[in-house]
Structures are given as C-alpha cells and as structure tokens.
Amino acid sequence: MPRRIALLAVVGCVLLAGCGGAGNSTPTELTDESERELAIDAPAITPGETGTLTIDVTNASTLRVEPIASDSVSIDYGNASHSPPPETTWTTYPPSWSWNGTTVTTTLPVVANADADRGTYDITIHARIDGEQRNRTVAVTVE
C-alpha cells in the first residue's frame, strides 16, 4: 500500500508540473522566423469603408485579436473567417480560437465609420505557436 501511495504522489507531481508548462508566458522577441510564423496583412481603408485583416499562423494552437481602441474603427468579429475552421471558439470579447497545431488563415473585417479620423489604429494579435506565446501589434491605416 505505501508503494501505491508513493507512486500516486509521484504521478500527481508530474501531472501538476505539466500543468505549469515551461513557465514561458512571456512572448518571444520578434525574429524573421517568428514573422513568418505569424504573418499579418493590415488594411489601409478610407472612412466609411471595410477592409480585411489577414492573419496567417503556422503551427497555431490559439489565436486572439484585441479590439481596436476606438469608437469609430472596429473589428467585426461576427464575420471572422478561418481556414481551417477552429476546433474551439471561445465566445468571449474578444473571441479566441484554437486549433491543434495546424497552419491557419484568419480574416477579419475592419470597419471604419464614415466619421473615422484619419490616422493609424493599432491591433494586437496574440498567438500560441509551437507552445510559445507570440504577440504582434500592427497598424490599420485610415486614409
């Protein structure tokens, strides 16, 4: 009986250690390789127009796109498109999507209201790629 308890204790510790991951929740620094793994094409749009934000992720496990900090320029999450479709969608705001380590293309409409000020609007994308968190901020331009 004591060996069984010891074995269960060891198995429990191993499982708990695995839940903690590698402890690397800090995003890695952007390199040419990480830019290829998380490639983003941000649109340039005019007031009253809708553009498309395209995100290509290699070996993706999760993806989340932060909302734009503006009342006049926004992301239309309801019309997001994914290829392939996500295995899981978390319907939070903003939504998050997950896959099982596959290459993904996501497109999101970016809407500039007719009264949108000209300028740049930052969008931050969070992706988990090969077990590492990657964050990139890109600018949508309203011309």
Q: What is the DSSP string of 60-105?
A: EEEEEEPPPS-SSEEE-GGG-EEESPPSEEE-SSS-EEEEEEEEEE
pLDDT, tens digit, 9 for 90 and up, residues 81-140? 999 999 999 999 999 999 998 899 999 999 999 999 999 999 999 999 999 999 999 999
What pLDDT does 101 receive?
A: 87
Residue 52: how many CB atoms within 10 A of its CB?
14
The answer to whether 84 touches 103, Cβ cutoff 8 Å, is no
Domains and CATH numbers, the chain: 27-142 (2.60.40.10)
If we measure between CA atoms, which residue out of 1, 124, 139, 132 comes closest to residue 64?
Answer: 124
What pLDDT does 108 receive?
A: 99
The answer to whether 133 touches 125, Cβ cutoff 8 Å, is no
Provide, rounded to the nearest whole percent, the portion of the chain with pLDDT above 70. 76
